[in-house]
A and B are shown apart, each in its own frame.
Chain A
Amino acid sequence: AQSVSQHNHHVILSEAASLELGCNYSYGGTVNLFWYVQYPGQHLQLLLKYFSGDPLVKGIKGFEAEFIKSKFSFNLRKPSVQWSDTAEYFCAVNAEWVTGGGNKLTFGTGTQLKVEL
């Protein structure tokens, strides 16, 4: 079974500070990795995704994430946050090459980010 851990539940940063949100997963096989963002009052939106290839992936709004297979990690980063980045961030994983139940996403508990002016 897959599981995802997000260690930071609440993060408060000032504008222009750098951001790194941790995500670790447990699964023995090949995985696809995702970060979703939920802005206040809005639905879950895809921020970025990793399937294969370059382990450093770039997403929307200046976000990037690095897949480190040996550490089972997929941390989200942004060099300089803005007030508009205030949102909840979810890391998710699904299994590659598995039919049926392997398609489901397993989510972490989320990280609430607040960016102060």
Chain B
Amino acid sequence: GAGVSQSPRYKVAKRGQDVALRCDPISGHVSLFWYQQALGQGPEFLTYFQNEAQLDKSGLPSDRFFAERPEGSVSTLKIQRTQQEDSAVYLCASSPGRDRGRQKTQYFGPGTRLLVL
């Protein structure tokens, strides 16, 4: 079946511009995650949805970052007034279930590479 897809794959933004990154999870997956991966680092957690509910947004670095998943499927990560330090790869992952064992295995999309000039 289809995996996690993300769009756009690459985005160049001028400092101060707003951007929106889209994630299509694997069909039927309840949980959806956003991560930020800086160059040479491992992915770092941003936020987590269970269906349409955003249960954890502790990793969002500032109030310029906003995520939504209004119908419990597609999700959008929005960054307002982008700064150069926002340049990174933004990864989306989904998992089948909620809180137990194998249901927590996360499958990753290809990521969106954001460059802020």
Contact = CB atoms under 8 A, between A and B. Distances in A.
Interface residues of B, number: 30
Contacts, number: 75
B109 A107 contact: no
B99 A104 contact: no
Interface residues of A, number: 30
Contacts of A43: 91, 108-111
A94 B104 CA distance: 9
Nearest to A32: B104
13 contacts: A43-B109, A46-B107, A51-B102, A97-B99, A99-B55, A101-B58, A103-B31, A103-B104, A106-B45, A107-B42, A109-B40, A110-B40, A110-B41
Interface of A: 4, 32, 34, 36, 42-46, 49, 51-52, 90, 92, 94, 96-110
Interface of B: 31, 33, 35, 40-45, 48, 55-56, 58-59, 91, 93, 95, 98-102, 104-111
